Structure 1
Amino acid sequence: MKLNNVADVLVMGAGPAALCIAAELVQHGLDVQAIASKSPLEPWPNTYGIWASELESLNMQELLKYRWEDTVSFFGDGLGGKGNICTNHHLDYGLFNSINFQEALLERCNGLSWQLETVDNIDFRERETVVICTSGKKYFARLVIDASGYKTPFIRRPKHDQIAKQAAYGVVGKFSSAPVEKNRFVLMDFRSDHLNANELEEPPSFLYAMDLGDGSYFVEETSLACSPPISFESLKARLNLRLSNKGIQIDEIFHEEHCLFPMNLPLPYRDQPLLAFGGSASMVHPASGYLVGSLLRRAPSLASEIAKVIKKEPLMPTSQIAIRGWKTLWTNELVQRHRLYQFGLQRLMSFDETLLRSFFDTFFKLPKKDWFGYLTNTLPLPRLFIVMLKLFYIAPSKVRLGMTGLLINKREKI
């Protein structure tokens, strides 16, 4: 029995998270509506990187625009961050072709049209949810999924006084000389020989960079997590200082990128009648900041559970459908893993620049399958415990003290 004029599911948002879950729901034959304040056809402003094997496991590697075999990091040689010791990751990395990715998801939505509205309020009833827009229009659905991003005012979660955000300022363009070696991707360049003593005491940042071919490059100064976040102005100044220290000038800018998102957003209350997906569901990886791989892996199971409930139990209250969705999205294992990652992030946020370089130098000495699984949140909980213990065992003494919270430094106030 289907209520008149009531959709099965209404999805809020028009970014990667919204399109991922909407596409899966449509593929299950559900009646889906979508609302967003901007068109899903509007190009996404940011680039999305991913380890190529993540897409290969989903048979989606054709969505990559760029792919690098030469993937490296630099952590300095222990002498104030200087030195050119190169850590080779031996794992392909890629950037999505954002346009193709967006079009592929829209195609799987089978012509689903987005209502361009701004949501003002949401009213929960026993067997339907009413989405009320600023235009005065109302939309009705058995279940509403908020995939509009971490800034949503509609998802309830515990308060957190110190929300740490990853911030990045990047440039795609041409340079007076190559900032990256030919055909190379640099995951993290923590070398700090361009910084003076005072600057080394500031919250650390690193260079994320890649050769795009045809004489163009993408360089981005990135802060892992900081509360309050490092400003775009500061990151831009650091990037220019890093480049000028090597005698490199920016000749032409094709695109500027500004990224800012929370890394330690508390998990939402999982008994609320409004379901979430993506950033609004705290799905950003607290340790790495990655999200897209998780969207692609977790959308199918969530959509499958929602479709099963709506089709087989048409009289189930809306609140119970949402709870079934929350239990699927955030299983007990995923919740425990998330807590472990947040604990690790909290410790890293207290590390100064020297300690952070030493930590990552140690981290990438782990077996590839372990650090890859850690960064992608694909390690089963028992294995995650083992990997964290292994990391502690092989770490230098100061890093161990920092990981246990026994080493107090100037950033500890964070």
Structure 2
Amino acid sequence: MPSLSFVSPLPLPHSKRTIHRNPLSHPTRFSTSQYPTRASLTTPSTPSPSTPSSPPSSYPTPEKLQSHSKIALYDVLVIGAGPAGLSLSSALGQRQLTVACADPQLHKPWPNHYGVWEDEFQKVGLADCATARYENTTIYAGQKKIVLDRPYIRVDRIKLKQRFVNRCKHARVTMIPARVTEVDHPSRQWSLVRFDDQDLTIRARVVIDCTGHALQFTNDSGKNGYQQPWAQAAYGVEAVVNGHPFETDEMLLMDFRDDHAIGDMREASDRRPTFLYVFPSGERRGFFEETSVIAPTAVSFEELKKRLERRLEHSGIVIERVIEEEFSLIPMGGSLPRRGRVVGFGGAGGLVHPATGYMVGRTVKLAEELAEKIGRGLEEIGEDGDVERVAQMGWDVTWNIGMLRQRDFLKFGAELLGTLGMRESCAFFDAFFKLPEDLWGRFLGYELDSGGMRGMFALWFFAIADNEIRIRLLRGIVEIGGWRLIRSVLPEWMSGWQGE
């Protein structure tokens, strides 16, 4: 496994003050008191050999000057160094912009486990950043095995982060291992940015929030009509086991079989469906995760852990050693972030797929487009122009009228799915994966690009679904979708802007 060589141009200070606004922390409809409200927490049972104890310093550093006229000015500051933040920082730097990227966890590996369709990473030249490749992807929507002839990869989070760090280094991106606490806009030409290191202040013409689901600077929960996000939760373990029944060349995307659920668990499983997600790593090792279907309230981690343990025991799988444990909470759907002077990207920009929770492949792909737009915008306005215009150009990349209407459509599917029990969920996915791959692949990839294509998807799905799902679809159009769903299948010129 490759080692990380992240940089630490400034000493990490003790945090004295942190502004960290999170729409999931208050109010919330599911307990997060024991777990972080960002997407994932992993707790290795042993220290990872790939985590450096003292990262070297090799990047240009920001100046610690206090007079506004002398404070270092960057074209762009990216807040956050996850996949969204680092892919965007490197893309911006490659366009000859002066870029800073700030994150207090710069020197640490990403905690999340990522899986993507291989073709999505092939499009952005990252398919080699994988710890495993699976020729087929399998699903159990009930007892019948569905085999998808579409390869899937388990992302090598160490290698992927190092790839982006190296790109940032070559583009001379300034890396700041500190937490941004405040972003003020005293000028039309730049913003003033303060850190938990009180000696450090910089200016940036454009500020981009890539802090994930924390929505640190793009939270809009105070506005009228704000809709809380729904959620998907998962509990998983990377473990050495006595053996398992899964094919080692197949990735198990969803297994809804619930023969293991007896007694009270049977009733709970029928009411709140969960499924098994597996990355096999040989005959005696794998990543096993119990995942809940999207719902207004997340299934608790305690319940997910109980269901996973019961499921593995029922399959004769004995865990001999836990290598890593993961708790994942993914907000999905809800209202979009505030479209303001700070541009949101990745989770902070609302890019999480409202029905699946997928984001990494789409985010990395959009990073190049957003960087190009920001670079062109700064060039157009010149040194004395109003950067608000550039910020809005950035928002237009992720949330133009076409993407908003597609989100309406996908969100309807997510909210319908969140009302289904176990049997109905199995019927839903059985019909979904009977669609032509071009259609279900576009749904999962956020690529139902036109109203006509979305309309074709809806009609085809209705035609092949069973009668119970058809009834739920018809009810959902009235009770869930309404005008937002109808306008999502209309031509853009007919649907109008009307916000999200």
Q: Structure 2-normalised TM-score?
A: 0.76
> What is the Cα-based RMSD across aligned positions, in Å?
2.0
- Change in Cα spacing, 1:109 to 1:402, as seen in structure 2 (3 Å) is same
Deviations 1:288-315 (A, max 9, x none): 1111111121111110011111123222
Say whether residues 1:194 and 2:260 are aligned partners. yes
- Change in Cα spacing, 1:130 to 1:309, as seen in structure 2 (3 Å) is same
What's the counterpart of residue 101 of structure 1? 160
User: Counterpart of 1:259 in 2: which secondary structure?
Assistant: strand
Q: More deviation in 134-143 or 284-293?
A: 134-143
Matches within 5 A, 1:224-303: 224-270=293-339, 272-303=340-371
Of the three residues 175, 185, 191, the one matched with 1:114 is 175
Conservation of the 8 A alpha-carbon contact between 2:238 and 2:285: yes
Q: 2:71 and 2:317 mapped to 1: Cα distance? A: 64
Of the three residues 388, 394, 397, the one matched with 2:467 is 397
Q: 1:177 and 1:5 mapped to 2: Cα distance? A: 57
Of the three residues 66, 83, 104, the one matched with 1:37 is 104
- Change in Cα spacing, 1:24 to 1:391, as seen in structure 2 (3 Å) is same
Conservation of the 8 A alpha-carbon contact between 1:278 and 1:295: yes
Q: More deviation in 88-97 or 51-60?
A: 51-60
Conservation of the 8 A alpha-carbon contact between 1:55 and 1:293: yes
Conservation of the 8 A alpha-carbon contact between 2:242 and 2:284: no
Q: Give unmatched runs, 5+ long, in structure 2.
A: 1-68, 479-500
What's the counterpart of residue 24 of structure 2? none
What's the counterpart of residue 67 of structure 1? 133
Q: Structure 1-normalised TM-score?
A: 0.91
Identity over aligned pairs, percent = 31
What's the counterpart of residue 139 of structure 1? 202
Q: 1:118 and 1:386 mapped to 2: Cα distance? A: 46
Of the three residues 67, 73, 80, the one matched with 1:13 is 80
Give the letter aligned to residue 116 of structure 1: P
Q: 2:458 and 2:123 mapped to 1: Cα distance? A: 25
Q: 1:154 and 1:70 mapped to 2: Cα distance? A: 40
- Change in Cα spacing, 1:250 to 1:343, as seen in structure 2 (3 Å) is same
Say whether residues 1:50 and 2:137 are aligned partners. no
Q: Give unmatched runs, 5+ long, in structure 1.
A: 77-83, 409-414
Report the CA distance between 1:361 and its aligned residue: 0.5
Q: 1:90 and 1:153 mapped to 2: Cα distance? A: 40
Q: 1:327 and 1:161 mapped to 2: Cα distance? A: 22
- Change in Cα spacing, 1:406 to 1:35, as seen in structure 2 (3 Å) is closer
Q: More deviation in 171-180 or 110-119?
A: 110-119
What's the counterpart of residue 375 of structure 2? 307
User: Counterpart of 2:352 in 1: which secondary structure?
Assistant: coil
Report the CA distance between 1:334 and its aligned residue: 1.0
Report the CA distance between 1:161 and its aligned residue: 4.8
Q: More deviation in 133-142 or 303-312?
A: 133-142
Conservation of the 8 A alpha-carbon contact between 2:110 and 2:157: yes
Q: 2:394 and 2:73 mapped to 1: Cα distance? A: 19
What's the counterpart of residue 217 of structure 1? 286
Say whether residues 1:128 and 2:190 are aligned partners. yes
Conservation of the 8 A alpha-carbon contact between 2:295 and 2:415: no
Q: 1:256 and 1:207 mapped to 2: Cα distance? A: 15
Report the CA distance between 1:209 and its aligned residue: 0.7
What's the counterpart of residue 414 of structure 2? 345
After TM superposition, which residue ranges in structure 1, 4 or more long, deviate above 3 angstroms?
A: 158-162
User: Counterpart of 2:214 in 1: which secondary structure?
Assistant: coil
Say whether residues 1:88 and 2:121 are aligned partners. no
Give the letter aligned to residue 178 of structure 2: E
Q: Figure out how many residues of one structure are paired with residues of the other and give that number.
A: 398
User: Counterpart of 1:287 in 2: which secondary structure?
Assistant: coil
Report the CA distance between 1:180 and its aligned residue: 1.6
Report the CA distance between 1:120 and its aligned residue: 2.2
Report the CA distance between 1:134 and its aligned residue: 3.1
Q: 2:425 and 2:219 mapped to 1: Cα distance? A: 33
Q: More deviation in 20-29 or 394-403?
A: 394-403
Give the letter aligned to residue 141 of structure 1: A
Give the letter aligned to residue 205 of structure 1: T
Conservation of the 8 A alpha-carbon contact between 1:173 and 1:253: yes
Conservation of the 8 A alpha-carbon contact between 1:50 and 1:93: yes
Report the CA distance between 1:214 and its aligned residue: 5.8
Q: More deviation in 124-133 or 208-217?
A: 208-217
User: Counterpart of 1:173 in 2: which secondary structure?
Assistant: strand
Report the CA distance between 1:114 and its aligned residue: 2.3
Deviations 1:75-110 (A, max 9, x none): 11xxxxxxx421011111111111111111111112
Q: 1:187 and 1:66 mapped to 2: Cα distance? A: 14
Q: 1:214 and 1:99 mapped to 2: Cα distance? A: 24
User: Counterpart of 1:371 in 2: which secondary structure?
Assistant: helix
- Change in Cα spacing, 1:60 to 1:403, as seen in structure 2 (3 Å) is same
Give the letter aligned to residue 299 of structure 1: A
